[in-house]
């Protein structure tokens, strides 16, 4: 049994892409792997939602029931989860999210938990994803980008994690596809500021998830 919390320096950074890629790589290597996306805002039942992509990567049929099973806290508005829940007259029960994650993390095989948004997105009026990660105490995969500005966003996210006592198992420098900043130079710069931190690059096109798989198995 091993479980990882996949967070990001922000929304749209590549958490689902990385989680789905890892799922496929693990399953291809014969390692049972599953994923959940406990909290999700901006949910649309059309194909291509985060839970649908994760189910596909798990080789499972995408149905509403299957989506509800891996992503129980879904909200329609494309806003931070606390705001999106409020739009529906609801609020997120963070203790219930925590229990859901703990139960999933205890399942056999490798379990990947995709976070929502960035490291400190609010879940309710008092808790952010950082509190959830701290309470779960699972190894963290931090997904960062390679766009101009990402180095500062990455170091800021790392500082917030460090303040909560969290050192990511791996920092993923995922190709943002903007072509502005070389991926390897971004990783080299981050390495200079984060001595000892495992850093893995995921370029585009990115079929090779072996280095990332090796990093989480270390």
Ligand X SMILES: Nc1ncnc2c1ncn2[C@@H]1O[C@H](COP(=O)(O)OP(=O)(O)OP(=O)(O)O)[C@@H](O)[C@H]1O
The answer to the question of residue 50 lying near ligand X (CB under 6 A) is yes
CA distances from 187 to 25, 111, 196 (A): 22, 26, 13
C-alpha torsion angle, residues 26, 157, 116, 58 (rounded to 10): 0
The least CB distance from residue 180 to ligand X, in Å, is 15
From the number of C-beta atoms within 10 Å of its C-beta (0-12, 13-18, 19+), residue 49 rates as: buried
The least CB distance from residue 50 to ligand X, in Å, is 5
Q: How many helices (H) and strands (E) does the chain have?
A: 9, 8
For Mg ion, give the closer residue by CB, 47 or 89: 47
Q: Which of residues 12-41 bind ligand X (CB under 6 A)?
A: 12-17
User: Which residue from 3, 5, 8, 49 is in contact with ligand X, where contact means CB under 6 A?
Assistant: 8
Question: With contacts defined by CB under 6 A, how many residues of the chain interact with ligand X?
Answer: 15
Strands annotated E in the chain: 2-8, 33-36, 39-40, 73-74, 110-114, 140-144, 170-174, 199-202
Write the CB contacts of 71 (distance below 8 Å, at least 6 apart in sequence). Answer: 36, 37, 38, 39, 40, 43, 50, 51
The answer to the question of residue 134 lying near ligand X (CB under 6 A) is no
177 backbone φψ class: left, alpha, beta (φ>0; ψ -120 to 50)? left
User: Which residue from 92, 175, 190, 209 is in contact with ligand X, where contact means CB under 6 A?
Assistant: 175
The least CB distance from residue 114 to ligand X, in Å, is 7
Q: Which of residues 177-216 bind ligand X (CB under 6 A)?
A: 202, 204, 206
202 binds, among Mg ion, ligand X, none (CB under 5 to 8 A by kind): ligand X
For the beta carbon of residue 111, count every other beta carbon within 10 angstroms: 22
The least CB distance from residue 183 to Mg ion, in Å, is 21
Which member of 15, 24, 37, 153 is catalytic? 37
Q: Is 15 a catalytic residue?
A: no
User: Given CA atoms 121, 124, 127, 133 in this order, what sign does their dihedral have?
Assistant: negative
The answer to the question of residue 127 lying near ligand X (CB under 6 A) is no
17 binds, among Mg ion, ligand X, none (CB under 5 to 8 A by kind): ligand X
The least CB distance from residue 16 to Mg ion, in Å, is 3
Catalytic positions: 37
The residues binding ligand X (CB under 6 A) are: 8, 11-17, 50, 117, 174-175, 202, 204, 206
């Amino acid at each position: 049994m091993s479980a990882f919390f996949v967070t990001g320096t922000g929304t749209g950074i590549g958490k689902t892409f990385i989680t789905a890629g890892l799922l496929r790589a693990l399953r291809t290597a014969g390692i049972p792997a599953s994923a959940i996306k406990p909290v999700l805002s901006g949910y649309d039942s059309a194909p291509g939602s985060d839970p649908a992509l994760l189910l596909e990567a798990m080789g499972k049929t995408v149905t509403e029931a299957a989506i509800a099973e891996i992503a129980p806290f879904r909200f329609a508005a494309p806003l931070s989860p606390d705001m999106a829940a409020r739009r529906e007259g609801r609020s997120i029960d963070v203790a219930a999210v925590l229990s859901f994650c703990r139960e999933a993390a205890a399942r056999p095989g490798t379990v990947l938990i995709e976070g929502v948004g960035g490291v400190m997105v609010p879940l309710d009026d008092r808790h952010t994803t950082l509190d959830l990660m701290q309470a779960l105490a699972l190894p963290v995969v931090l997904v960062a980008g390679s766009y101009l500005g990402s180095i500062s966003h990455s170091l800021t996210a790392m500082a917030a994690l460090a303040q909560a006592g969290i050192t990511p198992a791996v920092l993923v420098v995922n190709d943002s596809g903007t072509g502005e900043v070389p991926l390897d130079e971004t990783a080299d710069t981050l390495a200079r500021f984060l001595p000892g931190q495992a850093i893995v690059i995921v370029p585009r096109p990115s079929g090779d998830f072996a280095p990332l798989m090796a990093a989480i198995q270390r």
